[in-house]
Structure 1
Amino acid sequence: MAGKAGHFVTDHASLLKACADGDKSALQQLMLAEGGRMLGVARRMLRRADLAEDALQESLVLIWRKAHQFDETRGSAKGWVYAILRNRCLTMLRREDREVPVSPGTLGEVLDDTTHQTILDEAFERLGTTSDLRQCLQSLEPGTRRAILSSYVLGYSHGEIAGHLGAPLGSVKSWVRRGLLKLRECLS
Structure 2
Amino acid sequence: MVTADELGQLLQRVGRHDRQAFAEVYQATSAKLYGIVLRILSRRDIAEEVLQEVFVKIWERAADYDSSKASPISWMAAIARNRALDEVRRKLPVAIEDYPEIQDYASEDETALAATMRNEDGRRLAECLQHLDPERRQMVLLAYCDGFSRDELATRFAQPVNTIKTWLRRSLAQLKGCLGS
Larger-Rg structure? 1
Higher RCO (CA 8 Å, separation ≥ 6 residues):
2
Scaled by the length of structure 1, what TM-score is found?
0.47
Scaled by the length of structure 2, what TM-score is found?
0.49
